[in-house]
Chains A and B, each alone.
Chain A
């Protein structure tokens, strides 16, 4: 067995103990150790974007981030978006605009758009497409995801 390392991670504002092999990724830690299964494993090699989380407010691939290397950086996962079980504006826009199909890419899409709207409440179509450029979706053709974000940007205008 691989020896396990102890790390203390700050996840969605809570300090969580993680005991995992040094090779464990943040995605492994979230899903297998902490039971935070909202973050999805789509490829495990950094291309699909389903495991996107926020690391100190910036987009990060949980599958390309070693749990032991997270350190003091604050992690926000899909479970940390929206308050009191309610939907965040990004989540609501996706739900209401029919932008969610199989849903497996959705947590990563929510994180990517949340990061965008935190930086820029009124992004244009180019900025929205750029922010989503690392998230593969196999169901929607992206059209309704982009439109949902545009609608949300329009509300902020």
Chain B
């Protein structure tokens, strides 16, 4: 294996042309997989020195452009503002542990695309889009089109996640993130991200290979539980040693209700 640390995106794109090359962002998932023998790339392209991948820029509409190398800790520390960014910050606060949040990045996390991770749900609910760069140029993809399957994204060979664009969300809307896990800092059994104002946009994680996005108009408790039940009925959750598919379907409606209630206390 070799390691290169380009300082520009152009160099990075060239370095990625090598056989079996992979980007190294924060390394918090990739290096663990390498240590466990689950990944053995021939080349690592370190993204740490590429300035354009860093930093969070506030857009005039209250939304954010989040550089791909922004860490979970940086996102977690964002001042509460519009609902979209607030949702990302809430999700970032419950990713793993302090040391992982200090160096793990949003770009690395979403490119890894663990279906039980915290960002994918938050990004879908927030209506975020993913900015993807390559030698061919830059394209932007809605988060719901970016996550394709179990550890699978729309990234083509040679492409790098360069940024995440998070819209502010509807005026007056608020955000909440509900996560059920076996222990603190673990991946979710089921998670629900919600942005709710007069209506709600929710995304459910842990219940299939990619997050499930729904728009809800009726925010009464009964309607939310009913909506949760239909999402559950249509979902295809995994069964593993943490929980069965049936259990995930069973708890989804109440977690959905709590997430929306957390964002919007009065129906």
Residues of A within 8 A of B (CB): 2-3, 5, 21-23, 25, 44-46, 49, 52, 55, 58-61, 63-66, 68-69, 71, 112, 115, 130-131, 133-134
Q: What separation, in Å, do the CA atoms of A52 and B34 have in the docked complex?
A: 18
Are B1 and A69 in touch, CB under 8 angstroms? no
Comparing B91-99, B118-126, B198-206, the segment that makes contact with chain A is: B91-99
Partner of B2, one of A3, A58, A131: A3
Are A58 and B103 in touch, CB under 8 angstroms? yes
Partner of B185, one of A45, A60, A66, A133: A133
Q: Which of B225-242 contact A (CB under 8 A)?
A: none
- Determine whether B55 belongs to the interface, using a CB cutoff of 8 Å to chain A: no
Number of interface residues of B (CB under 8 A): 27
10 more A-B contacts (CB under 8 A) besides A46-B96, A65-B31, A134-B97? A2-B1, A23-B40, A46-B28, A46-B31, A49-B97, A58-B73, A64-B103, A68-B3, A68-B46, A133-B185
- Determine whether B100 belongs to the interface, using a CB cutoff of 8 Å to chain A: yes
Are A69 and B28 in touch, CB under 8 angstroms? no
Provide a sorted-by-A list of 27 A–B residue pairs whose CB atoms are within 8 angstroms: A2-B1, A5-B2, A23-B1, A25-B31, A44-B35, A45-B36, A46-B28, A46-B100, A55-B102, A55-B103, A58-B73, A61-B28, A61-B100, A63-B31, A63-B32, A66-B44, A68-B3, A68-B5, A69-B5, A69-B27, A71-B5, A112-B98, A112-B99, A115-B98, A130-B98, A133-B98, A134-B185
Residue of A nearest to B28 (CB): A64
Are B98 and A134 in touch, CB under 8 angstroms? yes
- Determine whether B24 belongs to the interface, using a CB cutoff of 8 Å to chain A: yes
Q: Which of B87-135 contact A (CB under 8 A)?
A: 96-100, 102-103
Partner of B3, one of A49, A66, A131, A133: A66
Query: Which residues of B sit under 8 angstroms from A58, Cβ to Cβ?
Result: 73, 99, 102-103
- Determine whether B184 belongs to the interface, using a CB cutoff of 8 Å to chain A: yes
Partner of B48, one of A44, A63, A69: A69
Q: Is the interface of A mostly helix, strand, loop or mixed?
A: mixed
Query: Which residues of A sit under 8 angstroms from B73, Cβ to Cβ?
Result: 58
Query: Which residues of A sit under 8 angstroms from B102, Cβ to Cβ?
Result: 55, 58-60
Q: Is the interface of B mostly helix, strand, loop or mixed?
A: mixed
Query: Which residues of A sit under 8 angstroms from B24, Cβ to Cβ?
Result: 66, 69
Q: What separation, in Å, do the CA atoms of A44 and B5 have in the docked complex?
A: 24
B183 CB to closest chain A CB, in angstroms? 10
Q: Which 9 pairs, one residue from A and one from B, show the smallest C-beta to C-beta distance? A: A134-B97, A59-B99, A22-B3, A58-B102, A68-B3, A45-B32, A64-B31, A46-B32, A22-B1
Partner of A64, one of B3, B32, B44: B32
Query: Which residues of B sit under 8 angstroms from A71, Cβ to Cβ?
Result: 5, 48-49
Are B27 and A65 in touch, CB under 8 angstroms? yes
Q: Which of B36-51 contact A (CB under 8 A)?
A: 36, 40, 44, 46, 48-49
Q: What separation, in Å, do the CA atoms of A5 and B34 have in the docked complex?
A: 17
B38 CB to closest chain A CB, in angstroms? 10
Residue of A nearest to B99 (CB): A59
Interface centre among B27, B44, B99, B102 (most CB of A within 10 A): B99
Q: What separation, in Å, do the CA atoms of A88 and B2 have in the docked complex?
A: 39
A131 CB to closest chain B CB, in angstroms? 6
Q: Which of B130-158 contact A (CB under 8 A)?
A: none
A65 CB to closest chain B CB, in angstroms? 6
Residue of A nearest to B38 (CB): A45
